[in-house]
Amino acid sequence: MSTRINMYIPHKLRAELDLIARKSGVTKSAIVEAALRGHFSAENGDKRDAVFIKRLDRMTRQMDRQARDFLVISETLALFIRYYLTVMPPLATSEKQAAQALGHERFESFVIQLSKRLRKKASFIHDVIEDIPKAEPDFYSFGEVKAEDLSPDFKKDKVSPHDND
């Protein structure tokens, strides 16, 4: 036995319901009942959950790659700074003004180059990785450096800036 209910739906949805009922030869009540059963069924929820889980897994892998890339960049910068500070001798007072002017000029050039690459969306690291095999074909294969091929234990194997002490 069915119970009658009254409800309000948008006019456009009502027109779609009428059209589907006419085309399929099924009553509007049967269409609404099937839609409600589908909405309330556990199987429908499982399918929806599976889609969300798949999407969350993909997002987690992307975030893991970004975290790994950030770690590599951070370690590279830390090593460079450490090397730079270790190698650079202190300047005499008379040379500081000229060195600051040269440093400012070099920094301006760096910013210009960086802005050009960012506008082109070019990756210097990718360019270098592609250029090495041309210069030294036995150095490594390009497949060896793809993010997907790196060891999942990369984070555990990271090199500390103090390893070379």
Between these two residues, 134 and 89, which has the higher pLDDT value? 89
Separation CA 51–CA 44 (nearest Å)? 11
Note the pLDDT tens digit of each residue in 112-160. Answer: 988 888 888 767 777 766 776 666 666 555 455 444 444 444 434 444 4
What single-letter amino acid sits at 69? Answer: D
Phi, psi of 164 (to 5 degrees): -95, 10
Query: Is residue 88 very low, low, confident or very high in pLDDT (cuts 50, 70, 90)?
Result: confident
Between these two residues, 142 and 60, which has the higher pLDDT value? 60
Separation CA 64–CA 147 (nearest Å)? 11
Q: Cα–Cα distances in Å, from 93 out to 82, 84, 101?
A: 23, 20, 14
Residue whose entry in the numeric block shows the structure tokens 């202190």: 90
CB-CB neighbours of 65 under 10 Å: 14
**Extended beta strands in the chain, E state:** none
Separation CA 14–CA 124 (nearest Å)? 57
Predicted structure pTM score: 0.43
Note the pLDDT tens digit of each residue in 39-58. Answer: 787 777 777 788 889 999 99
Listed residue (123, 162, 129, 165) closest to 144, CA to CA = 129
> Mean pLDDT lowest for which of 58-67, 106-115, 141-150?
141-150
Note the pLDDT tens digit of each residue in 17-43. Answer: 999 999 999 999 999 998 888 778 777
For the chain, what are the domain ranges? Answer: 11-40, 91-148
